[in-house]
Chains A and B, each alone.
Chain A
Amino acid sequence: MVEHAAHGHEEPAHEGAHAHPTDLTYVRIAIVLAIITLVEVVIWYIPTVRSVLVPALLVLSVAKFLMVVGFFMHLRFDSRLYRFMFAAGLVVTLGVYLALLAMLWTRGFWFPLPTTP
Protein backbone atom coordinates (compact mmCIF):
# COMPACT_ATOMS: atom_id res chain seq x y z
CA MET A 1 0.00 0.00 0.00
CA VAL A 2 2.73 2.35 1.05
CA GLU A 3 4.90 1.19 -1.84
CA HIS A 4 2.05 1.81 -4.23
CA ALA A 5 1.56 5.31 -2.90
CA ALA A 6 5.24 6.02 -3.31
CA HIS A 7 5.14 4.86 -6.91
CA GLY A 8 2.03 6.88 -7.55
CA HIS A 9 3.83 10.04 -6.52
CA GLU A 10 5.67 11.65 -9.47
CA GLU A 11 4.55 8.81 -11.68
CA PRO A 12 5.65 10.25 -15.01
CA ALA A 13 9.22 10.79 -13.86
CA HIS A 14 9.42 7.42 -12.20
CA GLU A 15 8.06 5.66 -15.27
CA GLY A 16 10.56 7.52 -17.37
CA ALA A 17 13.49 6.13 -15.48
CA HIS A 18 12.56 2.63 -16.58
CA ALA A 19 10.89 3.10 -19.94
CA HIS A 20 13.61 4.39 -22.24
CA PRO A 21 13.52 3.19 -25.83
CA THR A 22 15.75 0.38 -27.02
CA ASP A 23 18.82 0.88 -29.23
CA LEU A 24 16.81 -0.35 -32.22
CA THR A 25 14.20 2.35 -31.58
CA TYR A 26 16.95 4.98 -31.53
CA VAL A 27 18.30 3.70 -34.86
CA ARG A 28 14.80 3.77 -36.36
CA ILE A 29 14.31 7.36 -35.19
CA ALA A 30 17.67 8.33 -36.70
CA ILE A 31 16.63 6.78 -40.03
CA VAL A 32 13.36 8.75 -39.97
CA LEU A 33 15.33 11.94 -39.17
CA ALA A 34 17.67 11.28 -42.10
CA ILE A 35 14.72 10.66 -44.43
CA ILE A 36 13.03 13.91 -43.30
CA THR A 37 16.28 15.81 -43.97
CA LEU A 38 16.44 14.26 -47.45
CA VAL A 39 12.80 15.23 -48.10
CA GLU A 40 13.57 18.81 -47.01
CA VAL A 41 16.42 19.05 -49.51
CA VAL A 42 14.50 17.36 -52.34
CA ILE A 43 11.42 19.59 -52.04
CA TRP A 44 13.74 22.62 -52.01
CA TYR A 45 14.66 21.70 -55.62
CA ILE A 46 11.08 21.08 -56.86
CA PRO A 47 9.53 24.25 -58.36
CA THR A 48 5.95 22.90 -58.22
CA VAL A 49 5.92 22.84 -54.43
CA ARG A 50 7.34 26.36 -54.20
CA SER A 51 4.03 27.81 -53.02
CA VAL A 52 3.92 25.49 -50.01
CA LEU A 53 7.67 25.21 -49.51
CA VAL A 54 7.95 27.36 -46.38
CA PRO A 55 5.06 25.70 -44.46
CA ALA A 56 6.30 22.26 -45.52
CA LEU A 57 9.84 23.03 -44.37
CA LEU A 58 8.57 24.38 -41.06
CA VAL A 59 6.42 21.30 -40.41
CA LEU A 60 9.30 18.94 -41.26
CA SER A 61 11.68 20.94 -39.09
CA VAL A 62 9.28 20.90 -36.12
CA ALA A 63 8.85 17.12 -36.57
CA LYS A 64 12.63 16.63 -36.43
CA PHE A 65 12.91 18.96 -33.44
CA LEU A 66 10.22 17.09 -31.50
CA MET A 67 11.70 13.69 -32.30
CA VAL A 68 15.16 14.65 -31.05
CA VAL A 69 13.81 16.38 -27.94
CA GLY A 70 11.26 13.68 -27.17
CA PHE A 71 13.33 10.54 -27.79
CA PHE A 72 17.03 11.41 -27.79
CA MET A 73 16.74 13.93 -24.94
CA HIS A 74 14.20 11.64 -23.22
CA LEU A 75 11.85 14.55 -22.57
CA ARG A 76 8.92 12.35 -23.53
CA PHE A 77 9.78 9.93 -20.74
CA ASP A 78 11.22 12.33 -18.17
CA SER A 79 9.67 14.55 -15.53
CA ARG A 80 7.00 17.01 -16.60
CA LEU A 81 8.97 19.75 -14.86
CA TYR A 82 11.78 19.50 -17.45
CA ARG A 83 9.19 19.63 -20.22
CA PHE A 84 7.62 22.71 -18.68
CA MET A 85 10.98 24.47 -18.28
CA PHE A 86 12.03 23.81 -21.85
CA ALA A 87 8.63 24.74 -23.25
CA ALA A 88 8.73 27.99 -21.25
CA GLY A 89 12.07 28.83 -22.86
CA LEU A 90 10.66 28.17 -26.32
CA VAL A 91 7.58 30.30 -25.62
CA VAL A 92 9.73 33.21 -24.41
CA THR A 93 11.98 32.82 -27.47
CA LEU A 94 9.00 32.90 -29.83
CA GLY A 95 7.59 35.83 -27.89
CA VAL A 96 10.84 37.78 -28.33
CA TYR A 97 10.79 37.11 -32.09
CA LEU A 98 7.14 38.08 -32.46
CA ALA A 99 7.74 41.23 -30.40
CA LEU A 100 10.68 42.10 -32.65
CA LEU A 101 8.58 41.57 -35.77
CA ALA A 102 5.71 43.60 -34.30
CA MET A 103 8.13 46.39 -33.43
CA LEU A 104 9.49 46.48 -36.98
CA TRP A 105 6.06 46.31 -38.61
CA THR A 106 4.75 49.15 -36.48
CA ARG A 107 7.96 51.20 -36.41
CA GLY A 108 7.31 54.83 -36.09
CA PHE A 109 3.93 54.17 -34.52
CA TRP A 110 4.99 53.62 -30.91
CA PHE A 111 8.25 55.53 -30.96
CA PRO A 112 9.35 58.20 -33.43
CA LEU A 113 11.99 57.01 -35.90
CA PRO A 114 15.34 58.77 -35.75
CA THR A 115 15.68 61.40 -38.43
CA THR A 116 18.59 61.12 -40.84
CA PRO A 117 20.87 64.17 -40.92
Chain B
Amino acid sequence: MATAIDLQVQTAHGAGHDSHDGHGHSDHPPTSTGLNSRKMLMWLFLTSDCMFFGTLIATYMTYRARSIEIGTPPYPNEIFDIPYTSVSAFVLLMSSLTMVLALAAIQRGNHRGLRIWISATALLGAIFVGGQFFEFTEFTHEGLGLSSNIFGSSFFVLTGFHGAHVTIGVAWLLSILFLSLRGGLPPEKALDVEIAGLYWHFVDIVWIVIFTLVYLVPYANGPEGAAEAAPEAFVRLLTVGERFLAELPF
Protein backbone atom coordinates (compact mmCIF):
# COMPACT_ATOMS: atom_id res chain seq x y z
CA MET B 1 0.00 0.00 0.00
CA ALA B 2 2.73 2.38 1.05
CA THR B 3 4.66 1.41 -2.07
CA ALA B 4 1.69 2.24 -4.27
CA ILE B 5 1.29 5.70 -2.67
CA ASP B 6 5.03 6.23 -2.93
CA LEU B 7 4.96 5.36 -6.61
CA GLN B 8 2.04 7.71 -7.25
CA VAL B 9 3.79 10.65 -5.60
CA GLN B 10 7.02 9.88 -7.41
CA THR B 11 5.26 9.75 -10.74
CA ALA B 12 3.52 13.03 -10.12
CA HIS B 13 6.78 14.73 -9.28
CA GLY B 14 8.65 12.96 -12.02
CA ALA B 15 6.22 14.10 -14.64
CA GLY B 16 5.92 17.60 -13.36
CA HIS B 17 9.43 18.51 -12.33
CA ASP B 18 10.70 19.03 -15.82
CA SER B 19 8.10 21.45 -17.04
CA HIS B 20 9.88 24.44 -15.46
CA ASP B 21 6.68 26.33 -15.20
CA GLY B 22 7.22 27.07 -11.57
CA HIS B 23 3.74 25.85 -10.66
CA GLY B 24 4.17 22.12 -10.83
CA HIS B 25 1.93 21.81 -13.88
CA SER B 26 2.74 19.21 -16.44
CA ASP B 27 1.87 19.18 -20.13
CA HIS B 28 2.97 15.62 -20.81
CA PRO B 29 2.12 12.14 -19.54
CA PRO B 30 4.44 10.40 -17.02
CA THR B 31 7.55 8.88 -18.55
CA SER B 32 9.82 6.09 -17.30
CA THR B 33 12.68 8.55 -16.77
CA GLY B 34 10.47 11.19 -15.19
CA LEU B 35 11.80 13.62 -17.77
CA ASN B 36 9.87 15.35 -20.51
CA SER B 37 10.13 13.45 -23.78
CA ARG B 38 10.24 16.56 -25.96
CA LYS B 39 13.05 18.08 -23.95
CA MET B 40 14.88 14.76 -24.00
CA LEU B 41 14.47 14.66 -27.78
CA MET B 42 15.89 18.16 -28.11
CA TRP B 43 18.94 17.17 -26.05
CA LEU B 44 19.38 14.11 -28.26
CA PHE B 45 19.16 16.32 -31.34
CA LEU B 46 21.72 18.71 -29.85
CA THR B 47 24.01 15.78 -29.13
CA SER B 48 23.80 14.64 -32.75
CA ASP B 49 24.23 18.22 -33.98
CA CYS B 50 27.28 18.47 -31.76
CA MET B 51 28.79 15.57 -33.69
CA PHE B 52 27.77 17.18 -36.98
CA PHE B 53 29.55 20.45 -36.18
CA GLY B 54 32.41 18.55 -34.55
CA THR B 55 33.02 16.78 -37.84
CA LEU B 56 32.93 20.04 -39.81
CA ILE B 57 35.28 21.74 -37.34
CA ALA B 58 37.62 18.73 -37.38
CA THR B 59 37.70 18.85 -41.18
CA TYR B 60 38.44 22.57 -41.12
CA MET B 61 41.17 22.21 -38.48
CA THR B 62 42.77 19.36 -40.38
CA TYR B 63 42.84 21.12 -43.74
CA ARG B 64 43.09 24.78 -42.75
CA ALA B 65 46.82 25.03 -43.31
CA ARG B 66 46.79 23.04 -46.55
CA SER B 67 46.06 26.11 -48.68
CA ILE B 68 49.20 27.76 -47.28
CA GLU B 69 51.23 24.59 -47.91
CA ILE B 70 49.89 24.18 -51.43
CA GLY B 71 50.19 27.91 -52.14
CA THR B 72 46.66 28.74 -53.24
CA PRO B 73 45.67 32.19 -51.92
CA PRO B 74 43.81 33.94 -50.40
CA TYR B 75 45.00 32.68 -47.04
CA PRO B 76 43.04 32.84 -43.77
CA ASN B 77 45.39 35.30 -42.04
CA GLU B 78 45.10 37.69 -45.00
CA ILE B 79 41.35 37.71 -45.08
CA PHE B 80 39.97 37.47 -41.53
CA ASP B 81 38.81 40.66 -39.86
CA ILE B 82 39.08 39.86 -36.15
CA PRO B 83 37.48 43.05 -34.75
CA TYR B 84 34.49 42.62 -37.05
CA THR B 85 34.04 38.95 -36.10
CA SER B 86 34.48 39.83 -32.42
CA VAL B 87 31.47 42.12 -32.64
CA SER B 88 29.48 39.29 -34.26
CA ALA B 89 30.52 36.94 -31.45
CA PHE B 90 29.49 39.56 -28.89
CA VAL B 91 26.09 40.00 -30.59
CA LEU B 92 25.41 36.25 -30.47
CA LEU B 93 26.52 36.01 -26.82
CA MET B 94 24.14 38.79 -25.87
CA SER B 95 21.34 37.04 -27.76
CA SER B 96 21.84 34.10 -25.39
CA LEU B 97 21.26 36.47 -22.48
CA THR B 98 18.04 37.85 -24.00
CA MET B 99 16.87 34.28 -24.72
CA VAL B 100 17.31 33.12 -21.14
CA LEU B 101 15.57 36.29 -19.91
CA ALA B 102 12.65 35.48 -22.25
CA LEU B 103 12.37 32.03 -20.68
CA ALA B 104 12.54 33.46 -17.16
CA ALA B 105 9.79 35.93 -18.11
CA ILE B 106 7.34 33.27 -19.41
CA GLN B 107 8.04 31.06 -16.39
CA ARG B 108 6.84 33.96 -14.24
CA GLY B 109 3.82 34.45 -16.51
CA ASN B 110 5.21 37.78 -17.77
CA HIS B 111 4.02 37.83 -21.41
CA ARG B 112 5.21 41.36 -22.10
CA GLY B 113 8.69 40.42 -20.92
CA LEU B 114 8.64 37.31 -23.11
CA ARG B 115 7.71 39.33 -26.20
CA ILE B 116 10.36 41.98 -25.54
CA TRP B 117 13.18 39.50 -24.93
CA ILE B 118 12.18 37.12 -27.73
CA SER B 119 12.05 40.06 -30.15
CA ALA B 120 15.47 41.21 -28.94
CA THR B 121 16.88 37.70 -29.43
CA ALA B 122 15.46 37.42 -32.95
CA LEU B 123 16.81 40.88 -33.79
CA LEU B 124 20.30 40.05 -32.50
CA GLY B 125 20.19 36.76 -34.42
CA ALA B 126 19.18 38.60 -37.58
CA ILE B 127 22.03 41.09 -37.05
CA PHE B 128 24.44 38.16 -36.73
CA VAL B 129 23.18 36.53 -39.94
CA GLY B 130 23.30 39.89 -41.75
CA GLY B 131 26.86 40.38 -40.54
CA GLN B 132 27.82 36.93 -41.74
CA PHE B 133 26.28 37.61 -45.15
CA PHE B 134 28.27 40.85 -45.33
CA GLU B 135 31.46 39.01 -44.31
CA PHE B 136 30.89 36.34 -46.98
CA THR B 137 30.33 39.07 -49.58
CA GLU B 138 33.58 40.77 -48.56
CA PHE B 139 35.49 37.48 -48.78
CA THR B 140 34.06 36.80 -52.22
CA HIS B 141 35.19 40.25 -53.37
CA GLU B 142 38.67 39.43 -52.09
CA GLY B 143 38.74 36.26 -54.18
CA LEU B 144 37.75 33.60 -51.65
CA GLY B 145 34.91 31.39 -52.85
CA LEU B 146 33.57 27.94 -52.03
CA SER B 147 35.86 26.38 -54.63
CA SER B 148 38.83 28.81 -54.49
CA ASN B 149 40.93 26.56 -52.26
CA ILE B 150 40.60 23.97 -49.53
CA PHE B 151 40.44 26.72 -46.88
CA GLY B 152 37.52 28.38 -48.67
CA SER B 153 35.62 25.10 -49.04
CA SER B 154 35.95 24.04 -45.42
CA PHE B 155 35.41 27.57 -44.09
CA PHE B 156 32.24 28.31 -46.06
CA VAL B 157 30.71 24.89 -45.38
CA LEU B 158 31.32 25.20 -41.63
CA THR B 159 30.25 28.81 -41.13
CA GLY B 160 27.48 28.49 -43.73
CA PHE B 161 25.87 25.60 -41.86
CA HIS B 162 26.15 27.60 -38.64
CA GLY B 163 24.50 30.58 -40.33
CA ALA B 164 21.70 28.29 -41.55
CA HIS B 165 21.18 27.12 -37.96
CA VAL B 166 20.95 30.72 -36.76
CA THR B 167 18.47 31.54 -39.54
CA ILE B 168 16.26 28.59 -38.53
CA GLY B 169 16.54 29.75 -34.92
CA VAL B 170 15.38 33.27 -35.85
CA ALA B 171 12.36 31.80 -37.70
CA TRP B 172 11.57 29.63 -34.66
CA LEU B 173 11.76 32.61 -32.29
CA LEU B 174 9.51 34.67 -34.55
CA SER B 175 6.95 31.84 -34.54
CA ILE B 176 7.01 31.86 -30.72
CA LEU B 177 6.53 35.63 -30.77
CA PHE B 178 3.59 35.20 -33.15
CA LEU B 179 2.04 32.54 -30.89
CA SER B 180 2.50 34.76 -27.86
CA LEU B 181 0.90 37.73 -29.61
CA ARG B 182 -2.10 35.53 -30.46
CA GLY B 183 -2.35 34.53 -26.81
CA GLY B 184 -1.45 30.90 -27.43
CA LEU B 185 1.47 30.70 -25.03
CA PRO B 186 0.35 30.38 -21.41
CA PRO B 187 2.96 29.88 -18.64
CA GLU B 188 2.23 26.11 -18.72
CA LYS B 189 3.72 26.13 -22.22
CA ALA B 190 7.02 27.56 -20.98
CA LEU B 191 8.65 24.32 -22.10
CA ASP B 192 8.11 25.38 -25.74
CA VAL B 193 10.25 28.45 -25.07
CA GLU B 194 12.78 26.40 -23.11
CA ILE B 195 13.25 23.96 -26.00
CA ALA B 196 13.71 26.82 -28.47
CA GLY B 197 16.13 28.34 -25.98
CA LEU B 198 18.19 25.14 -25.82
CA TYR B 199 18.55 25.24 -29.60
CA TRP B 200 19.50 28.91 -29.53
CA HIS B 201 22.12 28.49 -26.81
CA PHE B 202 23.56 25.53 -28.68
CA VAL B 203 24.01 27.71 -31.76
CA ASP B 204 25.80 30.19 -29.50
CA ILE B 205 28.20 27.61 -28.04
CA VAL B 206 29.03 26.36 -31.54
CA TRP B 207 30.01 29.92 -32.45
CA ILE B 208 32.13 30.16 -29.27
CA VAL B 209 34.14 27.19 -30.56
CA ILE B 210 34.23 28.43 -34.18
CA PHE B 211 35.34 31.92 -33.11
CA THR B 212 38.27 30.50 -31.18
CA LEU B 213 39.38 27.66 -33.45
CA VAL B 214 38.64 29.17 -36.84
CA TYR B 215 39.34 32.87 -36.31
CA LEU B 216 41.65 33.29 -33.32
CA VAL B 217 43.98 30.28 -33.23
CA PRO B 218 46.89 31.50 -35.37
CA TYR B 219 48.01 29.83 -38.56
CA ALA B 220 51.47 28.56 -39.46
CA ASN B 221 52.37 31.93 -40.96
CA GLY B 222 49.88 33.79 -38.80
CA PRO B 223 49.38 37.48 -38.29
CA GLU B 224 52.89 38.69 -37.52
CA GLY B 225 53.10 42.18 -36.11
CA ALA B 226 49.56 41.99 -34.80
CA ALA B 227 50.41 44.48 -32.04
CA GLU B 228 51.20 47.16 -34.61
CA ALA B 229 47.92 46.35 -36.31
CA ALA B 230 45.83 46.74 -33.16
CA PRO B 231 45.05 50.49 -33.43
CA GLU B 232 44.45 50.08 -37.15
CA ALA B 233 42.03 47.25 -36.44
CA PHE B 234 39.62 49.51 -34.59
CA VAL B 235 39.78 52.12 -37.36
CA ARG B 236 39.09 49.30 -39.82
CA LEU B 237 36.15 48.18 -37.71
CA LEU B 238 34.63 51.66 -37.97
CA THR B 239 35.23 51.68 -41.72
CA VAL B 240 33.56 48.30 -42.12
CA GLY B 241 30.64 49.53 -40.02
CA GLU B 242 30.23 52.59 -42.20
CA ARG B 243 30.29 50.48 -45.35
CA PHE B 244 27.76 48.07 -43.86
CA LEU B 245 25.41 50.93 -42.98
CA ALA B 246 25.90 52.46 -46.44
CA GLU B 247 24.71 49.22 -48.06
CA LEU B 248 21.49 49.12 -46.06
CA PRO B 249 18.44 49.81 -48.23
CA PHE B 250 16.99 52.40 -45.82
Contacts and interface: CB of A to CB of B under 8 A. Distances in A.
A68 B35 contact: no
Interface of B is mostly: helix
Interface of A is mostly: helix
A97 B58 CA distance: 5
A11 to B, nearest CB: 10
Contact of B216 (A17, A30, A57, A89): A57
Given A85-B44, A100-B58, 12 more contacts: A6-B9, A30-B97, A40-B86, A44-B216, A45-B227, A61-B209, A68-B208, A72-B99, A72-B204, A82-B43, A89-B46, A89-B47
B10 A9 contact: yes
Interface of A: 2-3, 5-7, 9-10, 13-14, 16-18, 20, 23, 26-27, 29-30, 33-34, 37-38, 40-41, 44-47, 50, 53-54, 57-58, 60-61, 64-65, 68-69, 71-74, 79, 81-82, 85-86, 88-90, 92-94, 96-97, 100-101, 104
Given A45-B229, A92-B51, A72 B100 contact: yes
Interface stretch (B12-20, B144-152, B168-176): B12-20
B218 A89 contact: no
A14 B216 CA distance: 40
Contacts of B58: 93, 96-97, 100
Give the interface size class of chain B.
35 or more
Interface in B69-121: 82-83, 86, 89-90, 93-94, 96-97, 99-101, 104, 107
Contact of B62 (A29, A34, A40, A104): A104
A23 B104 contact: yes
Nearest to B104: A23
Contacts of A65: 205, 208-209
A46 B227 contact: yes
Contact of A13 (B6, B22, B35): B35
A40 B212 contact: yes
Contacts of B54: 90, 92-94, 96-97
